[in-house]
Amino acid sequence: MKRSGNRLSNQVAIVTGAGQGMGATMAKLIAEEGGQVVVSDINQEKASVIADEISETETQALAVQADVTREEDVKAMVETTIEHYGTISILVNNAGILYPTRIEQITKAEWDRVLEVNLTGTFLCSQMVLKTMKKNRYGRIVNMSSSAGRSVSTLGGAHYTAAKAGVLGLSRALAKEMAPFGITVNAICPGLIDTEMVQAECTPERISAYEASFPIPRLGRPDEVAQLMLFLATDSAYITGASIDINGGDLMI
């Protein structure tokens, strides 16, 4: 991986769930654009692998293990970032889980876990960075919702749809409260993206059927989502509280 630009020079970003998939791709793109990045994941080994790949370039990355549902983990992640880099200017709330369980089979424990990771984790991470961003009077928070949050999930159960819809409401509320401090908050709503999570839930035949049904007949790529994140983390001074679709035309509103 080679550094390709300077759009994020002097910027410090935290990306959660960055040990694989879209999170890893976004962390790498931030580094390629000159940003310093904290690769956060519940799996320390995966986070370290991505951070090491990034650090092979002139941009250094820091791997931090954190469970976004644990307040003490999130606090430690933010404190470690500030100790290491001095500030935080970008937060990408990407950590998430998906279960395909049908509603009558969802246990309360599974319901709680899906909402804790996808929604409560987004809240905790956002809340913890606000003090620094408000002090700097600058910040970019990018929350990963889903087409599920705008309609209903293709793969996930009702708990996933509910959590991702909650992310959209949280993003709007955060955006309204934080706008006076130079902090924008926006949500990305991907459709089916070619990630490990999607591959784990779908057979090749099922993926082919989905692809054939989309106006743009293929799955999205993680790098396409990462480019949208980059735009929101750089050129979005007058965009806040928005929910931006990237789904190949599968959902048009």
Query: pLDDT tens-digit profile of 44-86?
Result: 999 999 999 999 876 889 999 999 999 999 999 999 999 999 9
Q: What is the pLDDT of residues 201-216, one digit of tens each?
A: 888 899 999 999 999 9
Mean pLDDT of 113-138: 98
Measured distance CA(90)–CA(78) in Å, rounded = 12
Residue 122 has pLDDT above 60, yes or no: yes
pLDDT of residue 198: 84
pLDDT of residue 2: 57
Specify the pTM: 0.96
Mean pLDDT of 76-97: 98
In a domain, 236, yes or no: yes
Residue 2 structure tokens: 């080679």
In a domain, 231, yes or no: yes
Measured distance CA(65)–CA(48) in Å, rounded = 9
pLDDT of residue 60: 82
Residue 227 has pLDDT above 60, yes or no: yes
Of 95, 117, 120, the closest CA to residue 22 belongs to: 95
pLDDT of residue 197: 81
Measured distance CA(215)–CA(191) in Å, rounded = 12
Catalytically active residues are 160
Measured distance CA(180)–CA(251) in Å, rounded = 32
In a domain, 2, yes or no: no
pLDDT of residue 4: 67
Helix 71-85 with 121-136: angle, nearest 10 deg: 30
In a domain, 102, yes or no: yes
In a domain, 4, yes or no: no
Please tell me the total count of domains within the chain.
1
Q: How crowded is residue 4: how many other Cβ atoms within 10 Å of its Cβ?
A: 12
In a domain, 52, yes or no: yes
In a domain, 251, yes or no: no
Of 141, 162, 149, the closest CA to residue 189 belongs to: 149
Q: Give residue 34's domain range.
A: 12-244
pLDDT of residue 57: 78
DSSP β-bridge partners for residue 15: 39, 92
DSSP β-bridge partners for residue 12: 36
The percentage of the chain sitting over the pLDDT mark of 70, rounded to a whole number, equals 98
pLDDT of residue 247: 95
In a domain, 249, yes or no: no
Assign residue 142 the CATH number of its domain: 3.40.50.720
Task: Indicate the pLDDT class of residue 3, thresholds 50, 70 and 90.
Answer: low
Helical segments of 100-221, H only: 108-115, 121-136, 147-150, 158-178, 196-201, 204-213
pLDDT of residue 195: 87
Measured distance CA(178)–CA(50) in Å, rounded = 31
